[in-house]
Amino acid sequence: MRNQIDLLAAVTVLGVLEQAYFALQVIYARRKYKISPPETRGHPEFERIFRAQVNCSEYFPIFISLLWVAGIFFHQGAAAASGLLYLCARFQYFHGYAQAPSRRLGPLYASARLLWLLLGLAVVGLLGHFLPLGALVADTALGRQLRRLLGW
């Protein structure tokens, strides 16, 4: 069973480490600009770092849920690759936002597209699991190739 979820687990741990890194950046910015919790206002650079971390944290549960559903019901490799790209886009988003609000937009759009991709993979995988289409498609050449490729 482990080899069926190892990539998903690795991407999940990388995502948790990324979230910890973002939180540490907020701590460092608080110290640099002498802004004590629970204060969230202060130097503009601190506010951008704080906002970037909060934005990334807000989307993390959605990302993890879609990563696992897509990986279990569609294909682990496709979900893990999409997940890695998502984490890279969020890293770029965080650092872009920390520098200037306008630098967050490209990575923001990229990460949103990747979440939509994961949602699409999850939906297709769940449909393939719950609907009896597999038996209808299995006897066609395309169906056999899809089943071999996706492990259905």
pLDDT in tens, 97-151: 999 999 999 999 999 999 999 999 999 999 888 886 556 555 677 667 766 776 6
Alpha carbon distance 36, 26 (integer Å):
11
**Residue 102: DSSP 8-state:** G
Which secondary-structure segment (H or E) carries 43? none
* Active site residue ranges: 31, 104
Lookup: tokens for 152:
């259905």
| 2-29 pLDDT, tens digit each | 889 999 999 999 999 999 999 999 999 9
Q: Is the pTM of this model over 0.85?
A: yes
Phi, psi values for residue 40, rounded to 5°:
-125, 5
Residue 131 CB neighbour total at 10 angstroms: 10
